[in-house]
């Protein structure tokens, strides 16, 4: 369901005549193999790890196969503030990011439509930051921002917003680029003020872009561990669930807890995304 | 079908005072003065790029005039935003909101104006166009003709002082278009609104409108009832755009109170003086193809009948109700003759030598000549062409 939200245009797919069913299978094989090898297998491994118990020898990082469901309870009890903080940060950053990206996308996709040169230039400016490493850019902000701001909630959310603006802007731009301006004229003709026309016509018609953009930002933001880490923009009380997973995995070598937190994060995101896509009612726009 | 009480509100006069619209590179509408009386069905007819759609968009408020005033029902609306004008448009593209149901599309304008009971009124308007059973569908689930009717209902439901129709029947097939033409006219008569219909289809304009204004290159060439325009075109453009015409370049020989006698090569063409725009020098006269008769021998010319010939039949097309003959002579060029098929069997065959005659009273004299480029010199600069192409989209 979430995946369909990423398709910008939608549109009907022509049904090809089905002569040889195995042709389709051969064409799908590389994709299926890829998914099995790089998604399903690691995912099963992750579940197995999340249920492991410490080895009898008691050595650091040594675990044996088990069915220790209590790992989940332990992880949630210990780390619920981090989980909550992750989603709070991601939510705030998504909302603020949307408020910045929508006008930007509207400017590029609607206002600059008649000026293709400027439109191309503006798009390049949105994408240009991708040419420089994400880590470098985040480090640069650490130098630019006043040092007393670093390590606060503000600096982490700021970093998240900054890093994900292109992911938010581009899908919204793509939706608004296709907006039929004649519908906006029809709104004006039918007694709707520019503001009403925006909320009744423009915004609903750009919802596929808004849904894609917010998902493309919110999901990676929730699991982000760069912005909130102490080496970058974070401090002692800004750790997100990603930082906790990293610490458990690489520092304390508590693999079961790291795996458990990863699965909990994934499950929560899945529930949020499914609810969101259904609520936003974008299925029939696609 | 229609509750007359519900739609009792009548339309309003529309007045365009010296309206002008310039785009960078060309002028779309030249100082246009036009008054459309309340309750009339008015058609603005012209080829694409003549400025008719720009005129309509200025009335709707979607385009701002460079100069001039727009007055609706005595109120100056020139500077009003589109949503503040008592005008609704049926768009060429229909412009139905794809994310709303048919019912919500129709109720849109009512909801914006906070009219009481918008849903019931929307259902009523959908009943008027016989689509109430599809109220819960989305526009994409409807056929072109149905969408067109929804667009009409969405506009009519607001009972605007003035309803603008921007070639709304263009995308329909011939049969559906005929049906919609009749329905539109019926709705206009039932609801009594002022309709302004913009079209390039001369037949559509003539069948539907009380008054037709023929527009060319940003100006109105001629305005009047359809019969009047057809019977007495005043310019070459109108003579050729509204139906077909046979035109002759003539020299005036003699002018009396009632008649003008002219010479066209070896033939004499006589026309009533009140049917001519000029009465001396050289002029262009014309006659409609269905007024012509074919003869195998030269008929005797008298003051009441004009005769041209001899000529040869170069093309015959059988239409069904009529047969169209193309006859050609060295002296007069090609002439079109439409003959009603009242008798069985071929009346003439290809290559026959014929004479053509018509009653002098059917001749009309035009104000300009076929070579004239018209009142506005054509602008063929790249920029003007690009601007026009962008506007046509």
Indicate yes or no: pTM above 0.95: no
Whether residues B274 and B217 fall in one domain: no
Report the range of poorest mean pLDDT among A67-71, A248-252, B167-171: B167-171
In a domain, B57, yes or no: yes
- Predicted pLDDT at A1: 36
Residue of A213, A192, A212 whose CA lies nearest to A202: A192
Residue of B218, B102, B223 whose CA lies nearest to B151: B102
Instruction: Evaluate whether B51 touches B218 at the Cβ level (below 8 Å).
Output: yes
Tell me which of A246 and B380 has the higher pLDDT: A246
- Predicted pLDDT at B388: 60
B142-170 mean pLDDT: 89
- Predicted pLDDT at B377: 39
In a domain, B68, yes or no: yes
Residue-wise pLDDT for B187-208, tens only, equals: 888 777 889 999 988 888 888 8
Check B158 against A191: CB less than 8 A apart. yes
Instruction: Tell me the CATH number at A198.
Output: 1.10.3720.10
Residue-wise pLDDT for B340-349, tens only, equals: 877 766 677 8
- Predicted pLDDT at B344: 66
Query: Which residues in chain B have their CB less than 8 angstroms from residue A191's CB?
Result: 83-84, 109, 112-113, 158
**Number of Cβ atoms within 10 Å of the Cβ of B119:** 14
- Predicted pLDDT at B276: 85
pLDDT of A48 higher than 60: yes
Residues B11 and B4: their CA atoms lie apart, in Å, by 14
**Number of domains chain A is built from:** 1
**Number of domains chain B is built from:** 2
Cα three-residue angle A269-A155-A146, rounded to 5 degrees: 170
Instruction: Evaluate whether B244 touches B336 at the Cβ level (below 8 Å).
Output: yes
What are the respective helix, strand and coil percentages of chain B, to the nearest 5?
Answer: 30, 35, 40
Whether residues B41 and B159 fall in one domain: yes
Whether residues B220 and B265 fall in one domain: no
Instruction: Evaluate whether B159 touches B9 at the Cβ level (below 8 Å).
Output: yes
In a domain, B287, yes or no: yes
- Predicted pLDDT at B134: 95
pLDDT of B172 higher than 80: no
Reduced to 3 states (helix: H, G, I; strand: E, B; else coil), residue B96 is: coil
Whether residues B277 and B187 fall in one domain: no
Query: In B, what residues contact A, Cβ < 8 A?
Result: 60-62, 81-84, 87-89, 91, 93, 95-99, 108-109, 112-113, 138, 154, 158
Check A190 against B81: CB less than 8 A apart. no
Check B91 against A284: CB less than 8 A apart. no
pLDDT of A284 higher than 80: no
Instruction: Tell me the CATH number at B177.
Output: 3.40.50.300
pLDDT of A10 higher than 80: no
B86-91 mean pLDDT: 92
How near does any CA of chain B get to the CA of A176, in Å? Answer: 15
pLDDT tier for residue B387 given thresholds of 50, 70 and 90: low
pLDDT of B126 higher than 60: yes
Tell me which of B63 and B332 has the higher pLDDT: B63
Whether residues B85 and B222 fall in one domain: yes
Report the range of poorest mean pLDDT among A256-270, B169-183, B246-260, B378-392: B378-392
Nearest 5°: phi and psi at B310? -80, 155
- Predicted pLDDT at A286: 39
Report the number of secondary-structure helices (H) and strands (E) in chain B.
9, 20
Is A192 an 8 Å CB contact of chain B? yes
Residues A72 and A199: their CA atoms lie apart, in Å, by 43
How near does any CA of chain B get to the CA of A285, in Å? Answer: 7
Reduced to 3 states (helix: H, G, I; strand: E, B; else coil), residue B145 is: helix
A21-47 mean pLDDT: 93
| Disruptive mutation site among A9, A186, A207 for chain B (greatest number of B CBs within 10 Å) | A186
Task: Name beta bridge partners: B163.
Answer: B88, B195
Report the range of poorest mean pLDDT among A208-212, B28-32, B224-228: B28-32
In a domain, B168, yes or no: yes
Check A204 against B158: CB less than 8 A apart. no
- Predicted pLDDT at B375: 37
How near does any CA of chain A get to the CA of B216, in Å? Answer: 25
In a domain, B387, yes or no: no
Residue-wise pLDDT for A109-164, tens only, equals: 999 999 999 999 999 999 998 899 999 999 999 999 999 999 999 999 999 999 99
Q: Which residue has the tokens 């004499």?
A: B268
- Predicted pLDDT at B329: 83
Whether residues B174 and B278 fall in one domain: no
In a domain, A203, yes or no: yes
Q: Which residue has the tokens 């807890």?
A: A257
Question: Which of A183, A194, A196 has the CB atom closest to B97's CB atom?
Answer: A183
Domain range for A221 is 42-285
Residue-wise pLDDT for B5-24, tens only, equals: 333 356 688 999 999 999 88
pLDDT tier for residue B2 given thresholds of 50, 70 and 90: very low
Residue A53 CA: distances (Å) to CA of A3, A57, A62, A94:
35, 12, 9, 37
Query: Which residues in chain B have their CB less than 8 angstroms from residue A183's CB?
Result: 95, 97-98
Nearest CA in chain A to B89: A189
Residue of A88, A224, A238 whose CA lies nearest to A160: A224
Domain range for B177 is 4-231
ipTM of this complex > 0.85? no
- Predicted pLDDT at B169: 81
In a domain, A106, yes or no: yes
Whether residues B80 and B144 fall in one domain: yes
Q: Which residue has the tokens 């060029």?
A: B333
């Amino acid at each position: 369901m979430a995946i369909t939200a990423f398709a910008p245009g939608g549109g009907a797919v022509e049904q090809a005549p089905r002569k040889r069913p195995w042709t389709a299978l051969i064409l799908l094989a590389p994709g299926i193999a890829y998914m099995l090898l790089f998604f399903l297998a690691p995912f099963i491994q992750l579940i197995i790890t999340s249920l492991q118990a410490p080895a009898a020898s008691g050595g650091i990082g040594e675990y044996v196969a088990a069915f220790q469901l209590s790992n989940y309870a332990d992880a949630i009890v210990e780390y619920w503030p981090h989980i909550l903080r992750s989603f709070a940060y991601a939510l705030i950053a998504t909302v603020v990011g949307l408020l910045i990206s929508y006008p930007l996308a509207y400017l590029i996709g609607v206002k600059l439509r008649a000026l293709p040169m400027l439109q191309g230039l503006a798009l390049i400016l949105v994408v240009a930051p991708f040419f420089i490493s994400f880590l470098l850019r985040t480090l640069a902000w650490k130098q630019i921002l006043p040092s007393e701001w670093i390590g606060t909630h503000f600096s982490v959310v700021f970093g998240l917003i900054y890093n994900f603006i292109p992911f938010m802007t581009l899908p919204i731009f793509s939706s608004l680029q296709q907006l039929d301006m004649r519908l906006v004229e029809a709104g004006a003709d039918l007694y709707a003020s520019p503001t009403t026309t925006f909320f009744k016509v423009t915004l609903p018609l750009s919802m596929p872009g808004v849904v894609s953009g917010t998902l493309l930002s919110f999901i990676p933001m929730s699991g982000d561990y760069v912005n909130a880490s102490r080496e970058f923009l974070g401090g002692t009380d800004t750790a997100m669930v990603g930082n906790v997973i990293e610490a458990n995995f690489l520092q304390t070598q508590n693999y079961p807890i790291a795996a458990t937190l990863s699965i909990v994060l994934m499950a929560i995101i899945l529930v949020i995304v499914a609810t969101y896509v259904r609520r936003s009612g974008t299925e029939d726009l696609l | 079908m229609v509750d007359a009480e519900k739609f009792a509100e009548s339309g309003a006069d529309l007045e365009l005072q010296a309206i002008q619209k310039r785009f960078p590179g060309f002028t779309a509408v030249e100082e246009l003065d036009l008054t459309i009386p309340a309750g009339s069905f008015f058609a603005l007819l012209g080829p694409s790029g003549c400025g008719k759609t720009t005129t309509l968009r200025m009335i709707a408020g979607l385009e701002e005039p460079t100069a001039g005033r727009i007055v609706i029902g005595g109120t100056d609306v020139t500077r009003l935003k589109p949503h503040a004008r008592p005008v609704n448009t049926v768009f060429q593209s229909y412009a139905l909101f794809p994310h709303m149901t048919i019912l919500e599309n129709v109720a849109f304008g009512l909801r914006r104006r906070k009219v009481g009971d918008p849903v019931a009124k929307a259902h009523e308007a959908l009943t008027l166009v016989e689509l109430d059973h599809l109220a819960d569908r989305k526009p994409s689930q409807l056929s072109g003709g149905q969408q067109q009717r929804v667009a009409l209902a969405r506009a009519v439901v607001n009972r605007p002082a003035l309803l603008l129709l921007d070639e709304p029947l263009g995308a329909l097939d011939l049969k559906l278009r005929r049906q919609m033409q009749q329905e539109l006219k019926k709705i206009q008569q039932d609801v009594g609104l002022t309709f302004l219909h913009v079209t390039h289809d001369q037949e559509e304009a003539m069948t539907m409108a009380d008054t037709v204004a023929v527009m060319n290159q940003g100006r109105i060439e001629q305005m009047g009832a359809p019969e009047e325009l057809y019977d007495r075109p005043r310019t070459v453009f109108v003579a050729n755009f509204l139906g077909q015409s046979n035109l002759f370049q003539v020299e005036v020989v003699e002018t009396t109170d009632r008649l003008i006698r002219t010479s066209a090569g070896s033939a004499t063409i006589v026309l009533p003086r009140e049917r001519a725009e000029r009465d001396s020098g050289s002029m262009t006269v014309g006659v409609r193809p269905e007024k012509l008769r074919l003869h195998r021998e030269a008929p005797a010319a008298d003051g009441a009948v004009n005769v041209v010939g001899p000529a040869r039949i170069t093309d015959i097309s059988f239409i069904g109700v009529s047969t169209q003959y193309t006859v050609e002579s060295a002296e007069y060029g090609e002439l079109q003759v439409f003959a009603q098929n009242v008798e069985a069997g071929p009346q003439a065959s290809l290559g026959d030598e014929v004479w053509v005659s018509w009653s002098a009273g059917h001749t009309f004299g035009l104000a300009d000549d076929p070579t004239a480029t018209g009142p506005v010199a054509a602008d063929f600069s790249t920029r003007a062409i690009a601007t026009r192409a962008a506007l046509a989209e």
